[in-house]
Amino acid sequence: MQLILARHGRTESNALHRFPLSPAVPLDRTGIEQVRCTGQQIADSGFHPTAIHASDAERTLQTARLLRDLIAPELPVTPQPGLRELDWGLLRGRSTLSGPSGDAEYTRWQQDPLRRLPGGESLADVQARATPLLERLIADGRPALVVSHAVTLTVLTAWLRGWDLIETWQSHRAHLPTGGYRRLELTGPPGLPHPLPVSQ
């Protein structure tokens, strides 16, 4: 099947290098332009999804609707709580930078992302709630567009490609920039090792 994983466009929190305080954070002007550019690229590629699923955060729903309007205006956008970003817990509102200039708790978590953040989640928690939707889409077999967040999309890409989750996280090889997307051609069951996917 054909699957596109897309990350929401930039928000003010992204621009300030801070974890969002609320799911209600919208795209900023740059984010809207990023998504429009991505939508045009996807439309020009000839990709025709039969379903569009998005995290139920404002920034992902806004992104999904902008993409939908450009590539498949007839489709509804289906909100999916399982596609939410990792719950940052006590890190909400803090710096997303790691190292000496960033938040010490975030830096510690980067070394062991399977550890649950204080008041939040781990990468394993995200995988457990996000992969059932992809299992259903794969079973269906028709082209689909999934709009989510940086961490969630990293976890899903690792799961789909059979990559080690920690290595994928620490190497950043599955990271998507704001407004970016990855198109995958799934020819076998998830969890089998695959080469790097095509990234845009």
Assign residue 42 the CATH number of its domain.
Answer: 3.40.50.1240
Pairwise CA distance, residues 175 & 190, whole Å:
19
Q: How much of the chain exceeds pLDDT 70, in percent? A: 92
pLDDT category at 192 given cuts 50, 70, 90 is: low
In a domain, 192, yes or no: no
CB 150 within 8 Å of CB 8: no
Per-residue pLDDT of 86-129, as tens digits, reads 999 999 999 898 766 667 888 889 889 999 999 999 999 999 99
CB 62 within 8 Å of CB 26: yes
pLDDT at 198: 44
pLDDT at 188: 66
In a domain, 195, yes or no: no
Domains of the chain: total: 1
In a domain, 194, yes or no: no
Q: What is the dihedral of CA 95, 196, 6, 102, to 10 degrees?
A: 0
Any bridge partners for residue 27, and if so which?
11
In a domain, 143, yes or no: yes
The residue assigned the tokens 């799911």 is 23
- Top-confidence residue, 196 or 133: 133
User: Is 50 exceeded by the pLDDT of residue 196?
Assistant: no
Burial class of 102 by CB neighbour count within 10 A (0 to 12, 13 to 18, 19+): middle
Per-residue pLDDT of 139-177, as tens digits, reads 999 999 999 999 999 999 999 999 999 999 999 999 999
Q: What is the dihedral of CA 128, 163, 97, 152, to 10 degrees?
A: -30
pLDDT at 199: 44
pLDDT at 189: 67
Per-residue pLDDT of 37-59, as tens digits, reads 999 999 999 999 999 999 999 99
pLDDT at 104: 83
In a domain, 160, yes or no: yes
In a domain, 69, yes or no: yes
Query: Is the whole model's pTM more than 0.75, yes or no?
Result: yes
Q: Mean pLDDT for the chain?
A: 92
In a domain, 190, yes or no: no
Per-residue pLDDT of 2-30, as tens digits, reads 999 999 999 999 999 999 999 999 999 99
Nearest by Cα to 147 from 178, 126, 117: 178
In the chain the first and final C-alpha atoms are separated, in Å, by 18
| Residue range(s) defining the domain that contains residue 32 | 2-185
Choice among 32-41, 125-134, 191-200 with the minimum mean pLDDT = 191-200
In a domain, 142, yes or no: yes
